[in-house]
Chain A
């Protein structure tokens, strides 16, 4: 158990380190001079040199990397030049909105997708299941920005019952949540259906049925109990993916989160800000995944107690 946790924490640190290094290499590999990007277009050569010295760009690459990592440990991710403020602070001030949207979307998706998936598994190979399955495939096939614009047009423009953009009241959360939710429901419900299908086919379920245990108990206690790990994993992975995946939906609804921030940063070539966004999101993603993995021992005794067979 302790070993499992230690191993997972180690992996997380490795993943963050890898992301950090990738970002570093990418920015250095890119054509063009970062100093030129930072400075005003009219900067002189002397000014550019000063900037290079200021950011350590005149040092060897390996040394630059050392400084870069050192700065990270001090929480120094550079200065956003469009905001003229610490890039980290700008990102952190936007993060709560993105997390709010992701949490609301994953809750909405879980509440709809789990019962839907169970229902589909129970009605496996019927016309009803085929219909539900096709509907889910359709949900999975819509570009989020498109379904977002469509929902927005219908519920905020044609029938103005919900706010169209921004976050001024809780009602503003509804349309973005539904937009993100459609895709997540499609993905999660099909996974739940697969896992539950495997659960229903398991020998212990047939044996439990032979003991006279009612179908309801078989579904929720036996099949669901044994599908818990993959379903929780899927919810966690989807949630982690949403921390950066809601970019598109944030842009559609002008949601004040990290996604719309990063798109603006891209337009203004605000590299420190993009870098900070990627790093903060990566750390969050890794933490979420670590948390999910740490729930496995609670859900599956085989992880908790080790695989060794007694006697």
Chain B
């Protein structure tokens, strides 16, 4: 087969005529730009870029909140209540107690993001271990894990989470655990299916022949091969974790200390929506920007991973 390499992604540029003598290629630049291969590559790259920018726009200021020249999140100034954005050096305006909204959003974001990141770490670790064990060992381990996964589907999850928070108090560890509990099945299910495939590969049999312990084989050889794919899903879970945390805190079941988180800020501002639109709109837009960013980034990375894995054509014409 005479293969001509297309230049990277640009779709129009470096198209050689095929190396074989005789006919020139009939592929026009327009065909190429329309081709699924080029379009998929372009859209994955676009998603990754836009997603990264969105995430960075939220995460960087949140991380650097303490260094930015903004008032403290709890500095009240009753004479400067509900100032609209861009007045008096308040980029996002002020709230009903005269506190700087941007500062509140950024400091609250530190709590929100901490909870989100901790939650996906916990759910990721639990999900990876449970899923890998179920897939690798099979038997009763698999039965137990699979039944748990099924059972959780039937739980009225949000109500249970609210109940737990009500019983144990809205502290950061409780809320982290609650979100992780909601999310581990997704990681476990994926890991299990990945390990089921991985288990059948020759290197696992080779490890067995070499007399390696099964747990060693799983931890040292199988897990590293699935962690990369699983971590993409864990990244996408960050988006859900942030949304779930904001919903809990909107309902009054979010962390209160050290700072009110995004959901709480919006709930507080709700009463003033007719006169002070920014109190709800701006914190909400920050959440949307972050979550859209994470979702786009995860989606783009997944598209790219899928493309790399099956460089041919998604089975559309796997004959030939």
Contacts and interface: CB of A to CB of B under 8 A. Distances in A.
A and B touch in the complex (CB under 8 A): yes
Given A126-B39, A141-B292, A248-B247, A282 B263 contact: no
Interface string B27-41: 000000000100110
A26 to B, nearest CB: 6
Contact of B160 (A29, A150, A201, A278): A278
Contacts of A248: 247, 250-251
Interface in B255-281: 263, 266-267, 270, 273-274, 277, 280-281
A138 B284 CA distance: 13
Contacts of A262: 159, 162
B243 A157 contact: no
A19 B287 CA distance: 32
B247 A145 contact: yes
Given A140-B295, A143-B246, A144-B247, A243 B281 contact: no
Contacts of A140: 295
A72 interface: no
B158 to A, nearest CB: 5
B159 A281 contact: yes
A196 interface: no
A157 B275 CA distance: 11
A87 to B, nearest CB: 14
B150 interface: yes
The size bracket of the interface on B is 35 or more
A125 B162 contact: no
A134 B296 contact: yes
A77 interface: no
Which residue among B47, B147, B166, B168 has the maximum number of chain A CB atoms within 10 Å of its CB?
A: B166
B46 interface: yes
Nearest to A269: B166
B156 to A, nearest CB: 4
A226 B319 CA distance: 22
A137 B51 CA distance: 11
B110 to A, nearest CB: 18
A93 interface: no
Interface stretch (A10-18, A217-225, A300-308): A10-18
A149 B270 contact: yes
A143 B243 contact: yes
B190 interface: no
B168 A157 contact: no
B158 A244 contact: yes
A37 to B, nearest CB: 10
Interface string B157-195: 111101110111100000000000000000000000000
Contacts of B1: none
Contacts of B295: 137, 140-141
A68 to B, nearest CB: 15
Given A23-B163, A262-B162, A146 B156 contact: no
Given A15-B150, A137-B299, A247 B163 contact: no
Nearest to B42: A130
A136 to B, nearest CB: 10
Interface residues of A, number: 58
B288 A282 contact: no
B291 interface: yes
A274 B163 contact: yes
Contacts of B77: none
A266 B168 CA distance: 12
Contacts of A157: 273-274
A30 B154 contact: no
Given A134-B296, A149-B266, A153-B274, A12 B154 contact: yes
Nearest to A241: B157
Interface in A235-256: 237, 240-241, 243-245, 247-248, 251
Interface string A145-181: 1100110110001000000000000000000000000
Given A130-B43, A138-B288, A145 B263 contact: yes
B60 interface: no
A146 B252 contact: no
A126 to B, nearest CB: 7
Interface string B121-159: 000000000000000000000000001001101111111
Given A153-B273, A153-B277, A274-B163, A286 B154 contact: yes
Contacts of A1: none
Which residue among B158, B162, B163, B291 has the maximum number of chain A CB atoms within 10 Å of its CB?
A: B163
Given A26-B167, A30-B168, A141-B239, A289 B43 contact: no
Interface of A: 11-12, 14-16, 18-19, 22-23, 26-27, 29-31, 124-127, 130, 134, 137-138, 140-146, 149-150, 152-153, 157, 201, 237, 240-241, 243-245, 247-248, 251, 262-263, 266-267, 269, 274-275, 277-278, 281-282, 285-286, 289
Which 7 A-B residue pairs are closest in the complex by CB-CB distance? A30-B167, A146-B284, A244-B156, A141-B291, A15-B154, A281-B156, A125-B39
14 contacts: A16-B154, A127-B39, A141-B243, A142-B284, A143-B263, A143-B284, A149-B284, A150-B284, A243-B156, A245-B158, A248-B247, A248-B250, A263-B251, A266-B253
